[in-house]
């Protein structure tokens, strides 16, 4: 399935960023998220394509890990509000 997505979109990277028009999703609240509409949408699409173990919480964690979602707390030095 992963290889089929790569073939269809040119890369898995393009597939993922296509859901956000290439923009990082920046959370501007201090709410602890385990899923969002975005992770729901990607999870549903991956399941439709035949992937398994791609629930919305797993996908949300993956989006955080690869930098599609910036979910740092507002006080964290990694949050863009602390950029120099």
Residue 84 banded pLDDT, cuts 50, 70, 90: low
Q: Per-residue pLDDT tens for 18-63?
A: 999 999 998 877 778 899 999 999 999 999 999 999 999 999 999 9
73 or 25: which carries more pLDDT confidence? 25
CA distance 83 to 22: 21
Mean pLDDT, residues 73-82 taken together: 76
Residue 66 banded pLDDT, cuts 50, 70, 90: very high
75 or 46: which carries more pLDDT confidence? 46
Radius of gyration of the chain (CA): 14
CA 62 → CA 42, 57, 58, 70, distances in Å? 11, 9, 6, 11
């Amino acid at each position: 399935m992963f290889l089929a997505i790569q073939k269809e979109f040119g890369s898995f990277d393009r597939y993922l960023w296509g859901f956000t028009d290439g923009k990082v999703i920046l959370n501007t609240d201090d709410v602890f998220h385990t899923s969002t509409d975005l992770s729901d949408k990607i999870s549903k699409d991956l399941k439709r394509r035949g992937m398994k173990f791609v629930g919305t919480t797993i996908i949300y964690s993956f989006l955080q890990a690869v930098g599609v979602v910036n979910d740092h707390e507002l006080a964290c030095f990694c949050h863009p509000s602390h950029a120099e």
